[in-house]
Amino acid sequence: MAILLIEDEAGISRFVQQGLESAGYQVLVAVNGDDGLAMALRDEVEVVVLDLGLPGLPGEEVLRRLRQRRPSVPVIVLTAKDAVGDRVANLDAGADDYMVKPFSFSELLARIRARLRTGAQQRSDALSVGPLTLDLQTRAVTVDDRVVDLSTREFSLLEVLMRHPGHVMSQTQLLDRVWGYDFDGSSNVVEVYVGHLRRKVGAERIQTVRGVGYRLAVS
**Final residue of a domain: which of 62, 89, 122?**
122
134 with 160, same domain? yes
Q: Which domain holds residue 86?
A: 2-122
90 with 184, same domain? no
147 with 99, same domain? no
Is residue 215 within 8 A of residue 167, CB to CB? The reply is: yes
Q: What is the CATH number of the domain that holds 152?
A: 1.10.10.10
114 with 61, same domain? yes
What is the full per-residue pLDDT of the chain (219 aa) written as tens digits?
789 999 999 999 999 999 999 988 999 999 999 999 999 988 789 899 999 989 999 999 999 888 888 877 899 998 888 777 777 887 877 888 888 888 899 999 998 988 887 665 555 567 889 899 998 778 889 998 899 999 988 998 998 899 888 889 888 888 877 876 545 545 688 999 999 999 999 999 999 999 889 999 986
8 with 105, same domain? yes
Q: What is the CATH number of the domain that holds 49?
A: 3.40.50.2300
Q: How many domains does the chain have?
A: 2
Q: What is the distance between the alpha carbons of residues 133 and 160, in angstroms, rounded to a whole number?
A: 13
Instruction: State residue 197's pLDDT score.
Output: 95
pTM of the model: 0.56
Burial class (CB within 10 angstroms; exposed 0-12, middle 13-18, buried 19+) of 209: exposed
Helix (H, G, I), strand (E, B) or coil at 80: coil
28 with 115, same domain? yes
CA-only gyration radius of the chain, Å = 19
φ and ψ at residue 101, rounded to 5 degrees: -75, 145
